[in-house]
Amino acid sequence: MTRIRGGPGLWILASAFAFASMGALTHAAGTRCHWLVIATSRVSLMFVWAIVAARLAGARTPIFHPKTLWIRSLAGCFSLVCNFYALTRLPVADAISLTNSHPIWIIALSAIVLRRPLRLSEIACVASGIAGVFLIQRPHFAEADFATLTALLSSLSTAVAMLGLNKLKAIDPRAIVAHFAGTATIVSVILLSLNNNVLTWSLFNSETIALLVGVAVSGTFGQFFLTKAYAAGSPTRVSVIGLSQVVFAIGFDLMFWNRSLSVVTLAGFALVIAPSAWLLGRSAYDRESHESTNELRIDSTSRSTLEDSVTSAREARPKPSNPATRT
């Protein structure tokens, strides 16, 4: 059984803090420049980091095949674009909590695509997530409805990307990240070129540059800590602790934007994050139970094979002759 000890637990907390910091810096930069500029600065540095990491690990980086890799990269790219738009329009905690609800949508997509009937507990999780979204956005539905939609689309796209990961087990994770980052960089540059008056002289303001660099660096550090955590601990349990970035985001909202949180909004956060954490934790339990069952089966099979071998050896051993029949 794999357990998270101090190492991976601290790595994922550092990753959660870094990603929450990236969200806060993105929100601050959104008042100074277009959100596409922020997204491009983030993914371009991530692409450089991913390529270097893949090369150092000696990982092969496929480009055109398999098709599932492109589905994962394009879905992740769409998720990233929606995420940065939402972060510049919504409070940081709202955007991060909504975009981290992807475990709920994975359950819903599995039922639709795989035609797998939902358990009662899974239906309750989906209903809880929907209710949480309503409570979080209730104070400002009128002015932030499109931003809320993009945050949910980001989460849904993340779910699609993660569903495709099961078919990419033969590819090194660093190569998958490099392919995604490269795709996202190309798409971001294309979108930038299609938008007039996005690249202006105001971008060269020292404070704006500092915010953009902060977004890129904090996002890269978050990715680095995330990789370290997943390499050292149970992926599903690491994911549960990773939801702590919502707590960090709430702290940033209170500290830098003097946001006042109502009981209703806090209840919305709980209704979105709690079922996500429960689903991730249940996934870890199911996986470990499956592994334990396989270990028991292997052990039982080995013991049975050993017993059969001993029995066969005994039967093949020459029987001593009866002294009374000797000539």
Q: Which residues contact 169 (CB under 8 A, 6 or more apart)?
A: none
- Type of residue found at 2: T
Q: For 170, which DSSP code?
A: T
Question: Which of the given ranges, 53-57, 93-97, 234-238, 284-288, has the highest pLDDT on average?
Answer: 93-97
Look at residue 146 and tell me if it is in a domain: yes
For residue 44, what pLDDT is reported? 87
Could you tell me if residue 317 is inside a domain?
Answer: no
Provide the pLDDT for residue 239. Answer: 67
Does residue 300 carry a pLDDT above 70?
no
325: pLDDT strictly greater than 70: no
> Would you say residue 318 lies in a domain?
no
Amino acid occupying residue 303:
R
Please state, in angstroms and rounded to a whole number, the distance separating the CA atoms of residues 85 and 149: 11
Q: Has residue 15 got a pLDDT over 60?
A: yes
Instruction: Measure the CA–CA gap between 327 and 31, rounded to whole angstroms.
Output: 110
> The dihedral of CA 252, 257, 260, 263: what is its sign?
negative
pLDDT by residue (tens digit) across 108-121? 777 777 677 777 77
Q: Is residue 88 part of a domain?
A: yes
Q: In sequence order, which residues have a C-beta less than 8 Å from that of residue 188 and are 6 or more positions away?
A: 36, 39, 40, 43, 44, 81
Mean pLDDT of 32-36: 86
The predicted structure's pLDDT at residue 25: 93
31's CB contacts (< 8 A; 6+ apart) are: none
**pTM summary value:** 0.73
- Whether the pLDDT of residue 80 is over 70: the answer is yes
pLDDT score of 233: 63
Tell the residue number behind the tokens 């870890």, with chain if given.
Answer: 284
Longest dimension (CA), the chain: 115
Q: How many domains does the chain have?
A: 1
26 domain-assigned: yes
Q: How does residue 282 score in pLDDT terms, banded at 50, 70 and 90?
A: low
* Mean of pLDDT values over 282-293: 48
Asked whether residue 31 carries a pLDDT value surpassing 80, the answer given is yes
Cα–Cα distance between 201 and 198 in angstroms, integer? 10
The answer to whether residue 313 sits within a structural domain is no
Collect all residues with Cβ–Cβ distance below 8 Å to 160 and sequence separation of at least 6.
71, 75, 109
Confidence of residue 23 (pLDDT cuts 50, 70, 90): very high
pLDDT of residue 238: 67
- Per-residue pLDDT tens over the stretch 192-215: 888 777 766 666 788 888 999 999
Kindly indicate the confidence band of residue 139, based on its pLDDT and cuts at 50, 70 and 90: low
Q: In this structure, is residue 52 part of a structural domain?
A: yes
Residue with the bigger pLDDT between 93 and 236: it is 93
User: Tens digit of pLDDT for each residue in 240-262?
Assistant: 677 788 888 888 988 888 888 78
Does 71 or 306 have the greater pLDDT score? 71
Q: Is the pLDDT of residue 219 over 50?
A: yes
Structural domain for 199, as ranges: 9-308
Burial (0-12, 13-18, 19+ Cβ within 10 Å), 86: buried
